[in-house]
Chain A
């Protein structure tokens, strides 16, 4: 088994932004996730600011596409999108792609567009649904750039990606684009279109939690809930010799969706952590066995005030503290008369935010504050959220049994306090627009979409509030094009990966024989665990996972078992039998079936099989009888020393016991000799049928199975 990490991360100290791995197991190549690096989208100028004079041209005419704003240099032009190091993947050899959540799906059309791609794609039904919505949303918003810049020609590299230009770019920009080596250029792609998305999704096998799928008969894979969002999954991947539990983006704290499913992972030999939070050195690792709930995440960034006591009824709630904090800040802002902008994508926490926002607005009697969700996916996402009881936590499932909407926002939609709109400019929205309001809007790193336009509108208003809820964003860079800003900015990233502490607790619960973690975790974070069971991987490198000595098992059909009749073997206390059968592999389980082909015994006599096992010594008297039984009478016996007829091919290594051999000569029907030694017999005869007759005679006087 081999694992190759394909994340674009260059340095150990960096937060690895992409979780993407190639797993080779039981002769099957599985790509784990195919995400896009959305953080680098921030190096582009937002669509609406393109072709405006307000920015300073930084460089010479040859670098006219670079614009400077608030100390940040950005690229003007149609953005390209960066995937993980897919160049390390031989597309034609890929057997399967496993996608754990919508974020892991965003780059997949780039792969499926390749005519060599023939792998099977697996994800949960919900991941497929939400992921497709997100990709379509991206294509929709990206159209803003095409409106401004026109459509790029296929196959033409943008100027900033030219090798010659790259060298002249500012170092920071260059690093974001290609890292230290120019090889990173191939990770950039011109965005796919809707037809590509459709083609890609048509290849997807959609699974339920706990549903087993099987890759070419040798691997069994099964998704289980990861707790991150609707349909988000971890996987167990098992073959005849290996079983791996693959942990993707996960959350072990309670929330509105089905909780992290520990039992599903138990019994796996290997635990693979694909996506782990990069916590800085200062975060303390508590000793083994300590509670692992991480509630101080927001605090780490020194921005949001997060505590479990925000709501009076938190005990029975499935709301994450960060979500409650976001809503609390929003409610306070609208109370002061300001509007709130929450750039957000459909996954993972949008529905939870809407729900909690409604609760908090109601608790302070502000239900007349309008809430809007503006995204091409808005309508569909809102409708979809009320049809997914199977993917939700038990308390939400109780709502199904009670015949109530699964999320509270459904009532708001009915009462028209919450509305979904496809775009900011839709006529319906203009007529009902009213401030203050709370807006959830799609954004893609604040470079396109309704969120960008609203931020531009409200940026000078100090009463308004912008809440950034997504992780691993360079806030300075993201906000640069909008500066100067008077709007308040609150950064409250919502956890979407396991923290190092949580990793330890998962290891303890699953009890694997071996754990694979990203290298940065190994250095200091995981001292608490028994490190001899840890193996680390780093970007661009392949880790070989050693074997475990485990008993291999095979199943035999009853039909075949009846054909086998073991007979006792004298000196030992066991019975043994020869077996000729067909070996099958199905769902990673080996089984033996009666042989379909007649054994190609060829020139061998019946009963004298090439793989026959014989032992014992040839008794010359018995051999003579056996030869006579076969019609051979002209027999002469000679005794000679073994050295003279020694044959280097038959050295058994145990010559001490016997130094004498017998030679039996046969003169009719033609000449033949039998050289008999303690542990071997050699037959010299030119006539093939005579050769076989003699062989059968020798065989008959030996012990065999």
Chain B
């Protein structure tokens, strides 16, 4: 079946992530983000693509949100409360807990700054979140009978997850944003080798290979330390969640280590509240944080206290984390206005700033004057530092992930167009996996691996055992024998019972890979297919099998027999008392030497194994023996003919032809050796 993938947002772009995937007849929406760079209808994904009539609940089987960043969840309240989507929505526990904070933060800033009409209300955010089903990592959730989803740890921010979706037999992995290296409070992304039909991955840093994170952390701490040591104030504009906690941990630990007493402030309210959530969600952090939370919860910052507006102009050095990030308004902008004119102070901008914000103006060149709005111009004398602490994986990480997950196809989203092309080519050529980078609303179709399901007869499952006995009697017990044992413990065929006893008391290998089977596929129609053992064909097809068998005569010469008797323990001084059955026994012993035990056995004056029978031909007479012996005693050369001492009659079924031919050629080869 075909799997269809259409980005409604984040196609060759960063912002408003939203990808619709049609897999196994199900439509799944991955992420429902908003674009921070737009103020008009372009900020939301083009939902009209999904349904012209607006019946989204019918069109979409489920919505999956990977993490709480607005470019992944920002449009969700709009989609549910205004567009009217009422179907299931899944996200991890932390995302469900923290997303409302982000949404509410954003709503307030927008209303504050622009005086703009709000797109959704507080109430709508809460109603939207009520529809969400929270899930745990690696938990398999059945959305319906044919649709399963599972979350994997993605690093990036608390609760960020990659999602595996299985609809029927078709599978897709969507990564959202992820980080392949651990940071101060999060672990690295972790996913299994899922071999999905399609992997949709972010590609924010499609071509960057990042340098050491430690060096950047050191630079950051040094800059802060130098500034406060000289009596300056440091302003760090952040959003409430994610980067704020990461930097706070960094500073708090540094303060502890260096015994600094300069106050660190967190803008009161939102960010302090966010820390409460982080404490409840310790199990989603990295191992180090988890190991220490009893004695000291990492999010109980020792040196961090809430900040009051009245402290803006208080004397003395300090560090302040203020929301919102990018200096886009609110407290952070207000503090900036007070602190920027002094060259003792410092502004640290962690991460990306959207065009149009004061933050982005600061980052472009080294402006000495900044227009805050149409009427206000501000002297900027403070130092401005930009800190790139990305929580995204770099190009190497993306390639590592693709290699590890081993998909059949890759789609790149959430990146810059030109860089994505480079990465796309790299994946296609280096890894040999077809790779696509669709633009928004552009459809990519890939073929799923399409498994055919069929019935299988018990007899066929037992079959590999018998075969393996022939191939190598002393071989390790094949897994299929184990399967077969489970099949029917009561009525085991002899061969299996034998195997069972042989292997009792020793550890059974658990190799379940690649046991060769030979069967007949019976197709009644495309939906009813069954695989059966060849021996079942007669009854299933109603046609009597036509058996084929062989026989041949194998003459044995005296010199050869003599050699045999010398070689065996039971060597007798003379051939005098030797009967034909004694000779047969010698031949048997010789064959066992080549075949090993358990295949051939001596029975009723013959050598038998499977359908093979080797016996002394009635044409062999005692006369033969005597005459042949006479030749020998007289020293006659028997090479190139003479009278055979005895003739062996061999017969067998076609099924055992290989084995029979081997046995015969062994006997014949020995004769040749003699000459």
Question: A residues near B, CB below 8 A?
Answer: 1, 26-28, 92-93, 95, 125, 207-212, 216-218, 222, 240-241, 379-380, 383-384, 386-390, 397, 400-401, 403, 405-406, 544, 547, 551-558, 561, 564, 566, 569-586, 590-593, 595-597, 599-604, 608, 610-618, 647, 649-650, 652, 654, 679-686, 688, 691, 695, 698-699, 702-703, 705
Contacts and interface: CB of A to CB of B under 8 A. Distances in A.
B548 to A, nearest CB: 5
16 contacts: A27-B483, A125-B283, A379-B294, A383-B297, A390-B283, A400-B280, A403-B277, A553-B453, A577-B523, A611-B655, A618-B546, A652-B545, A683-B550, A684-B551, A684-B552, A695-B654
A388 B461 CA distance: 46
Contacts, number: 290
A679 B454 CA distance: 31
A616 B545 CA distance: 7
A589 to B, nearest CB: 10
A613 B541 CA distance: 11
B136 A702 contact: no
Interface string B281-301: 111000000000110010000
A617 B548 CA distance: 12
B97 A388 contact: no
B515 A582 contact: yes
A555 B450 CA distance: 10
B543 interface: yes
Q: Which 5 A-B pairs have the closest CB atoms?
A: A210-B139, A602-B658, A585-B512, A216-B510, A680-B547
Contacts of B487: 241
Nearest to A654: B544
Nearest to A614: B546
A695 B550 contact: yes
Nearest to A560: B452
A682 B486 contact: no
Given A600-B471, A615-B543, A552 B551 contact: no
Given A558-B452, A586-B512, 19 more contacts: A92-B507, A207-B138, A212-B138, A379-B294, A387-B280, A551-B455, A556-B451, A579-B518, A582-B517, A583-B480, A583-B514, A585-B479, A585-B483, A591-B451, A603-B657, A610-B658, A652-B547, A683-B549, A688-B664
Contacts of B549: 647, 649-650, 680-683
Interface residues of B, number: 93
A586 B513 CA distance: 8
Contacts of B451: 555-558, 591
Interface of B: 93, 96-97, 100, 129, 134, 136-141, 169, 273, 276-277, 279-283, 293-294, 297, 449-458, 461, 464, 471, 479-480, 482-483, 485-489, 507-508, 510, 512-524, 531, 534, 537-538, 541-554, 611, 613, 651, 653-658, 661-662, 664-665
A650 to B, nearest CB: 6
Contacts of B520: 576-579, 613, 705
A217 B510 contact: yes
A621 B323 CA distance: 97
Contact of B279 (A387, A566, A599, A688): A387
A616 B538 CA distance: 11
B138 A611 contact: no
A100 to B, nearest CB: 17
Contacts of B139: 208-211
B362 to A, nearest CB: 33
Contacts of A92: 507
B454 A652 contact: no
Contacts of B276: 403
B544 A552 contact: no
B521 A686 contact: no
B648 to A, nearest CB: 11
A552 B138 contact: no
Given A92-B507, A390-B136, A695-B654, A554 B456 contact: yes
Given A401-B97, A680-B547, A691-B552, A583 B283 contact: no
Contact of A389 (B281, B294, B524): B281
A79 B551 CA distance: 76
Contacts of A612: 534, 654
A582 B511 CA distance: 13
Contacts of B450: 558
Given A92-B507, A216-B510, A610-B654, A576 B516 contact: no
A583 B611 CA distance: 26
Contacts of B534: 611-613
A608 B658 CA distance: 11
Contacts of B293: 383, 387
B279 A650 contact: no
Contacts of B613: 649
Contacts of B483: 27, 240, 585
Nearest to B660: A603
Contacts of A553: 453-456
A611 B488 contact: no
Contacts of B543: 569-572, 615-616, 703
Contact of A574 (B136, B522, B531, B657): B522
Contact of B461 (A93, A552, A580, A581): A552
A555 B544 contact: no
B518 A685 contact: no
